[in-house]
């Protein structure tokens, strides 16, 4: 089955700096890669996703890049703010089959220091 590894497990940055979280996956058939932000005591919130026919996607301060050959994808947050502090999860799935059953990374706890 699919295996997703996420690094780093914790990340601390100064407000205004950039943050990068990386994930690797094992199944080359995976074609849908979402990123979720989870605040304490709440469910994960989809913040950005990318499909395998695209190499990069950007939404304001958030961007995701995908390297299918190397089987890794990354989340980039620029101009970080204290409210970006949360746990971030990456996931991989075969988005066109199996109704989106995803394999999740272990999460990255991001702390943005004011």
Q: Does 53 help bind another protein (rule: CB under 8 A)? A: no
Q: Does 42 help bind another protein (rule: CB under 8 A)? A: yes
Q: Does 36 help bind another protein (rule: CB under 8 A)? A: yes
The total of other beta-carbon atoms located within 10 Å of residue 49's CB is 16
DSSP assignment, residue 2? -
Q: Does 81 help bind another protein (rule: CB under 8 A)? A: no
Minimal distance in Å, beta carbon 16 to another protein? Answer: 27
SS3 string of 6-45? EECCEEEEECCCCEEEEEEECCCCCCEEEEEEECCCCCCE
Strands 62-67 vs 32-38: parallel, antiparallel or unpaired: unpaired
Q: Does 105 help bind another protein (rule: CB under 8 A)? A: yes
Please report, as ranges, the residues that interact with another protein according to CB under 8 A.
32, 34, 36, 41-46, 49, 89, 91, 93, 95-96, 99-102, 104-107
């Amino acid at each position: 089955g699919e295996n997703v590894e996420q690094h780093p497990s914790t990340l601390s940055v100064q407000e205004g700096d950039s943050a990068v979280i990386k994930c690797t996956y094992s199944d080359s058939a995976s074609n849908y890669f979402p990123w979720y932000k989870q605040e304490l005591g709440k469910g994960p919130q989809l913040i950005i996703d990318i499909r395998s026919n695209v190499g990069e996607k950007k939404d304001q301060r958030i961007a995701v890049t995908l390297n299918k050959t190397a089987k890794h994808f990354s989340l980039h947050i620029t101009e970080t703010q204290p409210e970006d502090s949360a746990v971030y999860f990456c996931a991989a799935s075969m988005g066109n089959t199996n109704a989106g059953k995803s394999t999740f990374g272990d999460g990255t706890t991001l702390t943005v220091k004011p």
